[in-house]
Structure 1
Amino acid sequence: MTAESSGWGDYVTAAFSRDFVAEGFDYDTVEQIHRGVFDEWRVALARSGLFTNRAVAEAVRCWQNNPSSLLDALLADADEMTDKRYRTAWNALDRTAAHDGSVRAAARYA
């Protein structure tokens, strides 16, 4: 199974979603995923014994290309309020990143 296949997120959901949701909202985790820091999840996949090293590497590449795909998989079993909290935090991080990028671009031309 490749990280790009439609079932990949289903495996991550099955392996980690319940525990992720049960731990409650964690801003630091959503911020790390948003920034593309996947070490915790890479190690968890590798240690689960369910995935080959190649599959783990493919998953990480998929997450690097689309970090929200990891969050989507982790929230697949979340209740509406938990999902909303994470999506609100994600959107705020998107806005902050866009603002920071425009400030840096303006500084280069100043």
Structure 2
Amino acid sequence: MKAELPTCGDYVTATFSRDFVAEGCDHDSVERIHRGDVDEWIRALAQSGLFTDRTVAHAWQHKPHSLLEALLSDADEVTVKRYEVAWQALDRAARFGYAALADEYA
């Protein structure tokens, strides 16, 4: 039987997910991920030696939501819902301009 290699998402989940959700919904992190500011996550994975910067950056550039999904893999249903609501608010704000974001979180 051939063992499957861990994916970037598997490694993110194993390494970061508990800390990511420990303090509750982190709107700043969700906003950074949403706009593609994922350098800190890329550096952390590159330091692991399992993935190259380019591999991780390419995956998250095309689907930044996949990073959020990996970070929330072990989270409870309510926590996942809170983050998804925040992500959806950022999607709406991106469509209508980020000025509307302030109203969402007020």
TM band (smaller chain): 0.7 to 0.9
Higher RCO (CA < 8 A, seq sep 6+): 1
Q: What are the ranges of 5 or more consecutive residues in structure 2 without an aligned counterpart?
A: 99-106
Aligned to 1:94: 91
Once the two structures are superposed, residues 10-39 of structure 1 have per-residue CA deviations (whole angstroms, 9 ceiling, x without a partner) of: 121112111112232110000000000001
The reply to whether residue 77 of structure 1 matches residue 74 of structure 2 is: yes
Give the partner amino acid of 1:82: T
2:46 corresponds in structure 1 to 46
Tell me the percent identity: 56
User: When the two structures are superposed, what TM-score results if normalisation uses the length of structure 1?
Assistant: 0.75
Q: CA deviation at 1:50?
A: 4.1
Structure whose alpha-carbon radius of gyration is higher: 1
Number of the residue aligned with 2:61: 64
Q: CA deviation at 1:6?
A: 8.2
Task: Show structure 1 runs of 5+ residues with no match.
Answer: 102-110
Shift of 1:46: 2.5
Offset at residue 7 of structure 1 (A): 3.1
- CA deviations on 1:24-69 (whole Å, 9 max, x unpaired) are 211000000000000111122123x2424x2x32111100000100
1:67-95 superposed Cα distances (whole Å, 9 cap, x missing partner): 10000000001111111111000000001
RMSD: 2.1
**Structure 1 residue ranges, 4+ long, deviating more than 6 angstroms after superposition:** none
TM-score (norm. length: structure 2): 0.78
- The aligned residue for residue 17 of structure 1 is 17
d(CA) in 2 for partners of 1:6 and 1:62? 15
Matched residue of 1:51: which SS?
coil
